[in-house]
Structure 1
Amino acid sequence: MKNLALNNQWVLITGASSGLGQEMARQLAGLHKANLIIAARRADKLNELKAELEKNSGVRVKVIVADLSIPQEADRVIAESIADDNLYGAILNAGVTYFGRHTQLPWDSFESILKTNVVGVVRMTNNLVKYFEQPGKEGSIMLVSSMAGFFPVPYQAAYSATKAFITAFGNALHNELTNPKFSITVFAPGGIATEMTDNSKFNELKGWLMPVSEAAKEGIHAFITRKYNYVPGLLNRVGNVFMNFLPSKFISGKMSKVYLKSLNKSAQQE
């Protein structure tokens, strides 16, 4: 299967108002000259990004303001994205997390994580697969998962579980596709230095966080080259392989100590 050619093609990015999604939008526009459909909840951030990209990169940008935790809103994003029948690719990046004891996570917050990270992604993927699974239609979807989906992460139990679902879902669906010009990639970064991790709870973990520009660059590489599963960062890839030879309980126990230390230090500073 040949690589994607993004120049002057339309690509949808969700969660584009900040963090990894915003940085991927900048690189897709600046380096690859892709036209973009950017979606997220914050209209002001999206419109600022649209103005920046159109001015600096000369590409076309469409803004869709939507709350992807609402199934009907997820459906609307895809309906508007495919309305002109020229969508070439989609990066489903929107996601939320919770770092703390799972028993302290309010139920409505858990449901919001589940709806954003799983239900919204599945709704959009279902509609996109129907769009791309046609003879001669070329394109690709990339689902942004996490290394937390490979190995259960204590104190991020809900987030870790949703990402495990996305990894399994994307990999399984990849092998159901019938259109030889269409693919699904699962991108699974480790921790990234973004707005989501910019708080005191992550202070003890920030030395492990990958710069967002590097994560975005590797994510776009995985998207263009249609990887099946892709973990960015050489150390992350080596660690991912190495951890497969260790007992899951041992790995989770070690993670638990590191994450709890960071949480406790944050609590002491408050």
Structure 2
Amino acid sequence: MNQIQSVLITGANAGLGREAARQLALRKGISKVYLACRNPTKAKAAKTALERETGRNIFEIVLMDVTDPVSVRAAVAELSTQIDAVILNAGGTGGQNPNSLTSDGVTNIFATNVLGHVVLVDALLERQLVTSTILYAGSEAARGIPKMGMHRPDLSDGTVDEFKSIADGSKFGPEGDPMQTYGYAKLTATLWMGAMARQHPHIRFVTMSPGGTAGTAGFDDLPLMKRIVFKHVGGVLMPLFGMMHSVEAGAKRYLDGLLNPEFKTGHFYASQIGYPTGPVVDQANIDGTLSDITTQDNAQQALRQFA
């Protein structure tokens, strides 16, 4: 594995992505941080602010909309140098119409959290542009957070068809609760990462949850009342009960997973059962489904039918 000197971060203009970029720039040995963003104005503002805050001119904008595979492939085609590591951070609850289908046949929430990142990783690997580590922003929602109203995703049999029904939303119907379908999307991506780790042993594939993070942009697209509860009321009360921590703490988890080789390829690390904060542990010790090879391969095979 090469020493990590350059990192590309999706969703890098705000929240966890921006904070991860800031923390990376303060690390010795990091010489380039690519800010993969879909909005050029916000990207430029983030780049300017990060340069001012860190005193380093190492940030480069890559225009990319992870909900649009065409945009992702075009962005990768423009890259001319190898990148050591990638943080697949972009995500959220799918905008105002999370259950509507994109032109690729997946729901908006699935496109945002999963499909675009699958396309990105495939394109980078095809051009041999990534040399060391790919880190996916997992979530405790993939194994359930009952105290936050997120039930454990219930796989009936973990077949290819079931994962396809998660991707296209038919498992949930047009009125599916985005807080629940979010967990299924994160679970599918986590399983895909496990399959990729076995198929590409020269690259580390680590899934790391940033945990319950106050101030993140991930829930900006929730309906008004849920957004108020999670971002404003929850942002004040949940940290008091150990249900949220700072964006700085969440981004540090990314850096730990990226730079510490003790976090093993193909594994999913997140908080201990019951809370989305605190020390991270290998989630396979909590839910054996996460390390089941057949289920991982089924998730990947389903994704290949959309990517």
**TM-score interval for Structure 1 and Structure 2 normalised by the shorter chain:** 0.7 to 0.9
Q: TM-score, normalised by structure 1?
A: 0.73
**1:20 counterpart = 2:27:** no
Q: 1:51 — aligned with what?
A: 48
Counterpart position of 1:251: none
Divergent runs of 4+, >4 A: 238-245
- Answer with 35-44 or 222-231: which moved more: 222-231
Q: Specify which of 141, 147, 165 is matched with residue 140 of structure 2.
A: 147
Deviations 1:18-67 (A, max 9, x none): 11101000001123433111012222221122123334332322112222
**How far has the Cα of 1:237 moved from its partner?**
3.7
Structure 1 residue runs of 5 or longer lacking an equivalent are 246-270
Once residues 57 and 25 of structure 2 are traced to their aligned partners in structure 1, the CA distance between those partners, rounded to angstroms, is 6
**Does 2:269 correspond to 1:230?**
yes
Indicate how the Cα distance of structure 1 residues 131 and 201 shifts in structure 2: closer, same or farther if over 3 A, else same.
Answer: same
C-alpha contact (below 8 Å) 2:39/2:63 kept by paired residues: yes
Letter in 2 for 1:196: G
Query: What is the CA distance between 1:142 and its match in structure 2?
Result: 0.8
Partner secondary structure for residue 107 of structure 2: helix
Aligned pair in 2 of structure 1 residues 138, 122: CA closer, same or farther (>3 Å)? Answer: closer
User: Do the aligned residues in 2 keep the contact of 1:132 with 1:139 (CA within 8 Å)?
Assistant: no
Letter in 2 for 1:201: V
Q: Does 1:200 align with 2:228?
A: yes
- 1:112 alignment counterpart: 108
Amino acid at match of 2:251: A
Does residue 1:161 correspond to 2:161, yes or no? no
Distance 1:215 1:167 in 2: 18
CA, structure 1 residues 88+244, in 2 after alignment: closer, same or farther (shift >3 Å)?
closer
8 Å CA contact 2:98, 2:109 repeated in 1: no
Cα distance in 1, alignment partners of residues 133 and 88 from structure 2: 11
Indicate if the aligned counterparts of 2:135 and 2:258 stay in contact, CA closer than 8 A.
yes
Amino acid at match of 1:79: A
Using the TM superposition, give the Cα deviation of residue 173 of structure 1 relative to its aligned residue in structure 2, in angstroms: 1.0
Structure-1 separation of matches of 2:59 and 2:183: 32
Task: Indicate whether 1:79 and 2:103 are aligned.
Answer: no
Measure the CA separation in 2 of the matches of 1:34 and 1:42. 24
Which runs of 5 or more structure 2 residues have no equivalent in the other structure? 152-176, 221-226, 289-307
Do the aligned partners of residues 158 and 236 (structure 1) sit closer, same or farther apart at CA in structure 2, a change above 3 Å counting? farther
1:36 match = 33
* 1:28–1:34 CA contact under 8 A, matched in 2: no
**Deviations for 1:131-154, whole angstroms, at most 9, x for unmatched residues?**
449xxx841111112111123724
Alignment-derived partner of residue 170 in structure 2: none
Determine which structure has the larger helix proportion and give its number: 1
Structure 1 residue 209 and structure 2 residue 202: aligned? no
1:185 corresponds to: 206
Instruction: Give the Å deviation of 1:218.
Output: 1.8
> 1:201, 1:64 → 2: CA distance?
33
2: CA distance, partners of 1:99 / 1:13: 20
Shift in Å at residue 75 of structure 1?
Answer: 1.2
TM-score normalised to structure 2 length: 0.65
Q: Which segment is superposed worse, 231-240 or 170-179? A: 231-240
User: What residue number does 1:174 align with?
Assistant: 197
Residue identity matched to 1:112: N
* Structure 1 position 210, deviation (Å): 1.7
Question: How many residue pairs are counted as aligned between the two chains?
Answer: 231
CA-CA distance at 1:97 after TM superposition: 1.2
Pair 230,80 (structure 1): closer, same or farther in 2 beyond 3 Å: farther
Counterpart-to-counterpart distance in 2, 1:239 and 1:142: 15
